Amino acid sequence: MRALAMKEWIKLRHWLGLIGLGHLAFGAWFYLSMRHQFRIEHAEMIYYQANRIGRLFYDDLRYVPLATGAVLGAAQFLPEVLRGRLRIAMHLPMGLGALILAHLGLGLGLLAVVLAFDLGILAGTVGAFFPGPFVASALATAAPWMLAGIAAYLGAALVLLEPDRRTQAVNLAVAGGVVALCHLSAAYNAYDGAIWGLAVLVGLMVPATLRAAARFRDGGTG
């Protein structure tokens, strides 16, 4: 496992650097943008817009986890499937399931760090300008966006590991559908009653990815 972690770190570190810089820049812009809102408008007006009209003041964050998950998934699995390079790992003395789960676990762990940073920026920024209850609401509102990021990561793995072009297209449609479900509504707390069901749906992409990897081993070269 340490060897795999070393390999994944070396493979992804430049991408992680870029992603980290991107998120830092986004965080700074997000904070400054919010501060600007409060400078040009009265705070009471903004609270009114948020509370009564339902205007979302952190909509800019919406697609950031999605893009991050997709980029990270592609950066991790594209080099593995190019020229069928995944066969090297598949011959390592460990089971296929454990191998793929280890790769996914490492990728999801890194993604979780980035998404936690995003949530931290969101909570910190909202907490700096809005009353306390807005923070919990913002985190609940952003939760499906985070799930979309995880779905995009797993979707990238699912699509890239699949050796059959037709099944790859189906996997792409399925992954796109799951991501779309995570973005059906941008209203405050829209997913409060559905977030766990959505999380289970996203989780089901893990065994699907294992099946794609098994098909890769059984005859595909990517």
Partner 1 sequence: MCAGPITGPARMTGKRDGIRHLRQIRAGFAGNGTMSAPAIAVQGLVHRYGPRTIHDGLSFTVPEGRILGLLGKNGVGKTTLIRILMGFLTPTAGTCRVLGDDSHALRAETKRRVGLVFEGHLAYDFLSIAETERFFARWYPRWRRDVFWDLVERLNLPPTHRIRHMSEGQRSQVVLGAVMAQDPDLLILDDYTMGLDAGYRRLFLDYLVHYARAGNKTVLVTSHVVQDMERLVDDVIFLRRGGDVLQTSLSDFMGRFRHYHLPAGAAPANLPTPAAPLHGLEREADGSLSVFAFAGPEEMRAALRTAGIDPAGIRERQMSLEDAFVGYTGKY
Residue ranges that bind partner 1, judged by CB under 8 A: 2-3, 6-7, 10-11, 79, 83-85, 87-88, 90-95, 217-219, 221
Q: Give least dist CB 184 to partner 1, A.
A: 38
Q: Give least dist CB 10 to partner 1, A.
A: 6
Dig out the tokens for 130 from the structure.
């809005």
85 or 211: whose CB is closer to partner 1?
85
Q: Give least dist CB 3 to partner 1, A.
A: 4
* Cα end-to-end distance, the chain, whole Å: 24
10 or 40: whose CB is closer to partner 1?
10
Q: Give least dist CB 95 to partner 1, A.
A: 7
Q: Give least dist CB 6 to partner 1, A.
A: 6
Q: How far apart are CA 58 and CA 53, in angstroms?
A: 15
Q: Within its chain, how far is the Cα of 45 from the centroid?
A: 33
At a CB cut-off of 8 Å and minimum separation 6, what does 56 contact? 50, 141, 186, 187, 188
Closest CA to 27 of 107, 151, 155, 128: 128
22 or 79: whose CB is closer to partner 1?
79
93 or 133: whose CB is closer to partner 1?
93
132 or 219: whose CB is closer to partner 1?
219
3 or 40: whose CB is closer to partner 1?
3
Q: How far apart are CA 212 and CA 97, in angstroms?
A: 11
Q: Give least dist CB 77 to partner 1, A.
A: 13
